[in-house]
Structure 1
Amino acid sequence: MTTGRDQAAASESRSRPVRGTALVPHARLPGVQHDRHVLTSTVDVFGTAHWLLAERAPERGGELPPFDALVVSVHRGGAVERTELSGLRARWPHLDRLPDGGFVVAASRARRYEDGDQVQVFDALGRETRSFSVGDAIEHLLVDATGTVWAGHFDENPAGIRRWSATGQIRWATDHAPGAGWIMDCYALNVSGPVTWACPYTDFPLLEIRPDRPDEPVKVRTNTVRGARAVAVHGGRAAFYGGYGEERDRLAFGELTETSVEPTDTGLLTLPDGALPGRRRVVARGSRIYVQAEPFTAWGVFDLGG
């Protein structure tokens, strides 16, 4: 049984600086926006950070009428852009940006939405242009450099990982991935250029997904790292972030062979000041793992590529 004293000690330990690999500051929400509620935040395929802000936090239960929200985008050079989105319907949304400047907003749960109403696509002026559904239980929703949408589902939807056009046509699914085992829950998903990486429950293989390669759309590598919530890959190396229990802040490294990931080293990934992040959001893009700790106003980055 965990006591209040145990919880306090764990909290103190988590906030205490520790030795490890420190995140590098990447982007910060401008202070003038801190009076709004952060519904969600992400880093897109080009490295721009986005915050979806509302006047108030959503309430649990009851109906959620369409509402307006603000996207604040901080580009890698520090320039700030604001886009008003009209008529959002997602209570617990996912957000990403399209290459044409528009946005995709998706409800993580599809049960309260009519068919075709779960994912909203907005143009660069914040106007909804279309909507469609990708299925219940979204764990990850990421847009790649070509504008296609990747959805990774958690265990209440056996669809696994699927790729969609921005108009709602399915382009690829993990039922086309022989040898990957049962993909029950998409723990880690990395979407950037022509290759997508994933590390799903239950066997946690590292999947190298190239849908446009008809002879081998998925290469499956066995992997001994369990429970990672993000994976980065660069130059024949992989880094896995997160895990179960005491390994939730783990940063594990491995070398890629043709059939496996061979472990090489393990450490911790910390905030820039050396503290452990506690509650966090994580986004993986190519060689980079972005981490955002509560209160979710700043992103840090770890780059496996140096």
Structure 2
Amino acid sequence: MDELTIVAEAFDEGGPSALEAADGRRRLEELMRPAVPEPRRRRWRPRLGVGLGLVAAATAAVLATASLGDGEGTPALSKERAAEQHVRARTFLLAAATRLESGTKPNPWTPPKPGRYWRQRTLRGQAWHVVSGGYVIYTEVRSDAWQPGTGQGRGHFAEKAEPVGPRTPEDVAAWRKAGSPTRWRAQADGDRLDLARDAAPPEPHRPVYILDPDTEPPSVPSRIATGADPAAFVAMARRDAGFVDGRANELMAGARYIGDKLAAPKSRAAVLRMLAGLSGIRSIGTVRDACGRTGIGLAAPWVERDDGSVVEYQLVLDPDTDNVLGDQMILKKPGKSGMRPGLRFDYTCTLTEGWTNETPTDLKTVTRRVPPYRVARTAGKCWSPGMDNRKKRETERHEAVTALPTVAARYHADLGGEPGEELLSVSVGPKGHAIALWADAADLAALRPWTTQPGWTVFPDPRSPRPVGVRVTMHTREPVAIARLPLPLAYVDLQPLPNGRILLVGARAQWRPGNPDRNAVICDADGRVEAVETIGDGVEHVYTTKSGRTWVGYFDEGVFGNYGWGGTGASEPIGAPGLVRFSEELRPEWRFPAYDTHPWGLICDCYALNVDGETAWACYYTGFPIVRVKDGVLSGWRNDDVRSVTALAVCGSRIALFGGHGADHDRLVVGELDADRFRVRAEYRLVLPDGRDLSDVVQVVGRGADLHVMTGRHWYRLGLDDIPLDPGKRRGRW
């Protein structure tokens, strides 16, 4: 059965619609471009946090993003063919999500009523090129992991190494021609090792658990609790997308989560929908995994590894249950690996997984394993081949960013504050004035409440446990007190409204039948409440206009649903579109269009928002395109170069993008919009007027052509006119 048959069964249609095909063609160039999704480093906000990771099969394959042509011996896909496969993949993933939620196909998910153990058996393998023989041998490990169903007591874990040797007919013939040796000098991923037929293989690339160096595997109750919350599950899938680069990274991370059978179907369906929104993911029809089982294959765009080889990451799904059978890396171009194109050189198969009341025998207790650490000295630097290559790339990126030319923000004003007060929140209104919210230090905990659930899952509470007295001030250069009022909200953002009124918005909102939290409050200049409304959970950005309208951008929990939103029988999240404009009465009057009506993709998380006049500009995950909403009309531009943007400034066709992950947290990129994409002209590092680095708690707000930099109680500004398009031509104060 192929994926088109599956889609036809789910939707009673024979394949992609004309609209989907047209959308695919609009994405032709985007499909084959490299992309590097990154974990975020952004201003603090009240997301759901989880103390431990999920059980999954991680990979240590070292990949680097590249723009690829034809592979040696493997023809590259035409853009038309890639577009067709992308539309089929998206349709299949959405259909699988629908099936998973509706239960129209068998699904072995079990509610949180565990047996004695949750047991998982896997097979992991890797290909090694025999240096002198010209053929390939494999190391394989079978793992058997038992986790206590109650979370109490010890788990058990065992590994069995299969005999090392060739696996394919071609390699068996070459091995026999070489005299059937049982010892080899082999290489893979740049390492050369001596291998013996019956010796244990080197440290496997894929441990059974994703382990923090200082933690044990997550317990079964913790996995069940996290897997019951779709927004938390999606957030963790995105957080873990960091082992490799490019769309292979995101597909690999998603595979680990849709394959977690302890998670609720609605949570796994949410991850499937997230994957459906990724550009470049392709359906490649029926494929076989390393265990010979037939499934539906999803593939990521080709990427280049450190040794120059080009690979394709494939995820294999069971056509009968939509469960993950396994994943594999297929070689498309050999580079320096010495292996032939089409080879499956790295793979994992899930053999069995589920509850059992049996007792494990002849197994050792699960303990944390530390990979071997071998030190090599090159050019005066000490580096370990076993060290995380991602950390190495981050170090190199830090050095590159540190070497960038700097541009300094201009001091504008101090925000002041009364003795004993703490700054709770600060933003910038439509006229460029700052607006700040203050509270006594003793009340901060009530305005930022948390609840810790079993399994160390931490939830921000949507409302303050008691009304707290706060003070609002408006700032041009000198602060002007506006109002004092009791505040029942938590994690508050605020904005000015016409006629001296104030809008206060809580980031979180609980859904209840007929009575959801009303997390938006409008007060007059004396602090009297004029209106209260519900604008939804997961509020990331709030910006008002001079006419009194309000633009709201949502983070992923507001988009996919949390705190009761989006569940069975519940209302769809108000933030499901990712970006919503509200009227003066706080009624939704414009929503970001559905992803299949435009080429810029689904908003999973509105990273950056700028409201200039009545026009909104946004840069969002996934893909980080730059979009404009003017008079209700959506326009957009591709952004191939700058990821994880947290703020943007705009003037005509000129754009400045600020922020990024890790070393790029203070990066500032300036460029121009052409007919269809953002073109980078210069890259800088943003610093304070005296040249000091920005603090870790900096907040940068984009309003029109200005970036407002808030660090502590100090307010700095930087306009687009202060940033030259040519780094060699300084303009403004540097």
- Please say whether Structure 1 and Structure 2 have the same fold, judged by a TM-score greater than 0.5: yes
What CA distance in whole angstroms lies between the structure 2 residues aligned with 1:297 and 1:38? 7
Contact 1:147-1:166 at 8 Å conserved across structures: yes
What CA distance in whole angstroms lies between the structure 2 residues aligned with 1:28 and 1:2? 42
Quote the offset at 1:69 in angstroms. Answer: 0.9
Cα distance 1:253–1:126, how it changes in 2: closer, same or farther (>3 A)? Answer: same
Q: Give the alignment's TM-score, normalised by structure 1.
A: 0.87
1:233 aligns with 2:620: no
What CA distance in whole angstroms lies between the structure 2 residues aligned with 1:138 and 1:51? 18
**Number of the residue aligned with 1:302:** 718
Contact 1:116-1:131 at 8 Å conserved across structures: no
Superposed CA deviations along residues 98-124 of structure 1, whole A, max 9, x for unmatched, are: 122111111101128952521001112
Gap regions ≥5 residues in structure 1 = 4-12
Contact 2:510-2:516 at 8 Å conserved across structures: no
Alignment of 1:265-280 (within 5 A): 265-277=682-694, 278-280=696-698
What CA distance in whole angstroms lies between the structure 1 residues aligned with 2:721 and 2:546? 19
**Number of the residue aligned with 1:35:** 420
**Number of the residue aligned with 2:472:** 71
What CA distance in whole angstroms lies between the structure 2 residues aligned with 1:116 and 1:64? 13
Larger radius of gyration: 2
1:155 aligns with 2:556: yes
Structure 2 residue matching 1:66: 3-state secondary structure: strand
Superposed CA deviations along residues 241-298 of structure 1, whole A, max 9, x for unmatched, are: 00111111100111111211111111111122212212111211010111112xx211
Superposed CA deviations along residues 210-266 of structure 1, whole A, max 9, x for unmatched, are: 1x25xxx11010012111100111132111000111111100111111211111111
1:192 aligns with 2:612: yes
1:223 aligns with 2:609: no
Contact 1:145-1:192 at 8 Å conserved across structures: no
Q: Give the alignment's TM-score, normalised by structure 2.
A: 0.37
What CA distance in whole angstroms lies between the structure 2 residues aligned with 1:110 and 1:27? 34
**Number of the residue aligned with 1:7:** none
Structure 2 residue matching 1:248: 3-state secondary structure: helix
Quote the offset at 1:200 in angstroms. Answer: 0.6
1:243 aligns with 2:660: yes
Question: Which stretch of the first structure deviates more once superposed, 239-248 or 110-119?
Answer: 110-119
1:47 aligns with 2:432: yes
Quote the offset at 1:127 in angstroms. Answer: 1.0
Structure 1 residue matching 2:424: 3-state secondary structure: strand
Between the aligned residues of both structures, percent identity stands at 30
Superposed CA deviations along residues 119-148 of structure 1, whole A, max 9, x for unmatched, are: 001112221100111111111011112111
Contact 1:58-1:91 at 8 Å conserved across structures: no
Contact 1:28-1:74 at 8 Å conserved across structures: no
Q: Which amino acid aligns with 1:182?
A: L
Question: Which stretch of the first structure deviates more once superposed, 108-117 or 195-204?
Answer: 108-117
Q: Whose helix proportion is higher, 1 or 2?
A: 2
Cα distance 1:85–1:180, how it changes in 2: closer, same or farther (>3 A)? Answer: farther
Superposed CA deviations along residues 151-210 of structure 1, whole A, max 9, x for unmatched, are: 100011222000001312111111266222011000000012132110010010000111
What CA distance in whole angstroms lies between the structure 2 residues aligned with 1:246 and 1:221? 25
Contact 1:255-1:261 at 8 Å conserved across structures: yes
Quote the offset at 1:19 in angstroms. Answer: 5.1
Alignment of 1:135-150 (within 5 A): 135-150=536-551
Structure of greater relative contact order (alpha carbons < 8 Å, 6+ residues apart): 1
Give aligned pairs, total.
Answer: 287
What CA distance in whole angstroms lies between the structure 2 residues aligned with 1:116 and 1:146? 26
What CA distance in whole angstroms lies between the structure 1 residues aligned with 2:517 and 2:585? 11
**Number of the residue aligned with 1:259:** 676
**Number of the residue aligned with 2:627:** 207
What CA distance in whole angstroms lies between the structure 2 residues aligned with 1:84 and 1:193? 25
Q: Which amino acid aligns with 1:23?
A: A
**Number of the residue aligned with 1:81:** 480
Structure 2 residue matching 1:25: 3-state secondary structure: strand
Structure 2 residue matching 1:156: 3-state secondary structure: helix
**Number of the residue aligned with 1:92:** 491
Contact 1:255-1:263 at 8 Å conserved across structures: yes
Cα distance 1:27–1:166, how it changes in 2: closer, same or farther (>3 A)? Answer: farther
1:107 aligns with 2:527: no
Contact 1:21-1:270 at 8 Å conserved across structures: yes
What CA distance in whole angstroms lies between the structure 2 residues aligned with 1:204 and 1:29? 32
Q: Which amino acid aligns with 2:445?
A: P
Gap regions ≥5 residues in structure 2 = 1-211, 215-398, 452-463, 560-575, 723-734
**Number of the residue aligned with 2:528:** 127
Contact 2:509-2:517 at 8 Å conserved across structures: no
What CA distance in whole angstroms lies between the structure 2 residues aligned with 1:72 and 1:101? 11
Structure 2 residue matching 1:39: 3-state secondary structure: strand
Contact 2:699-2:710 at 8 Å conserved across structures: yes
Structure 1 residue matching 2:503: 3-state secondary structure: strand
What CA distance in whole angstroms lies between the structure 1 residues aligned with 2:511 and 2:693? 36
What CA distance in whole angstroms lies between the structure 2 residues aligned with 1:50 and 1:40? 8
For the aligned residues, what is the CA RMSD? Answer: 2.5
Superposed CA deviations along residues 75-111 of structure 1, whole A, max 9, x for unmatched, are: 2xx3431122323111210111112211111110112
What CA distance in whole angstroms lies between the structure 2 residues aligned with 1:175 and 1:226? 22
